[in-house]
Amino acid sequence: MFRFVVKLFGFALVQAALVVALIAATEMPVAFWGTTRGKHEIADRAPSPRMIISGGSSDVFAFDGKALREATGYYPVSLAVYAGLGVEYFLKEAEREARRGDVIFLSLEPHHFATFGINEEVLVQMVVERPRSIFHIPLRHLPLVLDELLNHIRVHLDARISSLFRRRRAHEVPVELDEYGIIILDRPTPKPYKSPAPEEMEVLKAKPHELPELIDRLNAFVRRCRSRGIEVVLAMSPHDRAFYDFNQAYIDRVHDELVKHFEGLLLGPPSQFAWPESYLYDSMLHLNLEGRRIHTERVIEEWKKLNLKAP
């Protein structure tokens, strides 16, 4: 019976993948997740050793690839797209992409170290854009993702039947990448970012078991990577200084636990990557051009303390 269920599930995955491939052939890029195919193509072409940057949308804005390459000797490739994909997705994707001699740079947002929900809709968008992304999705999320995928297929088939013209919605602004898979910031933000008032700030918190389980998962990832000759560096992604100040007790406790228990290389305390609103683009996690420059310089400064030499 178990063998039959496994075969049935495998057959369903194949059928879903075929339909996804048909939709992907005509789908318009939507926001950041529409860049994942291009990012993996850049990774395939990039010379070794590479720095595989993995994380949420904060990392889409965070780095100057040329400066990182010159300072570290690694060719940076950003696979970062969206925080809602979840840490397990990031780990699976980076592990499948990395090769011997690479370093994986996990730049996780503060929210990833707290109670955090997975966005199944965005997971579906990733699979639509690049069907192989389905292999990065944790098994326990697949039923919900497949259900969301079927709904996605229905909606898009209805749209194709009702109109023969491909029209770009307002939020489907094309995203242009540089040679490192990093977004090119060539347009001003429509509304400059302003830090929220304290009463509007999100409070970071987690259930007692969540942070230890996350660290265990990260450590297992580090051990698997090191067995293949791949190093792992972990850091907190850039974020709003006001948000850090509001959640400082929790964020610093996370860092203390990582110092004690994380088996990979840890880059700087989170306070080093908290920036004033003048360095932010359109949200508490997205840097503008000046913020990108300053943040990259800070990352390079902390990176040198690791004594990590490119092979």
Q: What is the pLDDT of residues 139-176, one digit of tens each?
A: 666 666 565 666 655 555 545 444 433 444 433 445 78
For residue 203, give both structure tokens: 């409070």
Is 201:63 a contact under the CB 8 Å cutoff? no
Q: Which residue has the higher pLDDT, 191 or 148?
A: 191
Q: What percentage of the chain has pLDDT greater than the value 90?
A: 53
**What's the mean pLDDT when you consider all of the chain?**
82
Residue 88, pLDDT > 70, answer yes
Provide mean pLDDT across the span 237-254. 96
Provide mean pLDDT across the span 190-204. 85
* Residue-level pLDDT at 135: 77
Residue 277, pLDDT > 80, answer yes
Residue 201 to residue 63: CA distance in whole angstroms: 26
Residue 214 to residue 298: CA distance in whole angstroms: 26
Q: Which residue has the higher pLDDT, 144 or 299?
A: 299
Q: What percentage of the chain has pLDDT greater than the value 70?
A: 75
* Residue-level pLDDT at 132: 80
Pairing mode of beta strands 239-240, 103-108 = unpaired
Q: What's the pLDDT tens digit per position in 112-126? A: 998 777 777 777 777
Q: Which residue has the higher pLDDT, 95 or 13?
A: 95
Residue 100, pLDDT > 50, answer yes
In sequence order, what are the residues at sequence separation of 6 or more whose Cβ sits closer than 8 angstroms to the Cβ of residue 186?
176
* Positive or negative torsion for Cα 292, 110, 98, 80: negative
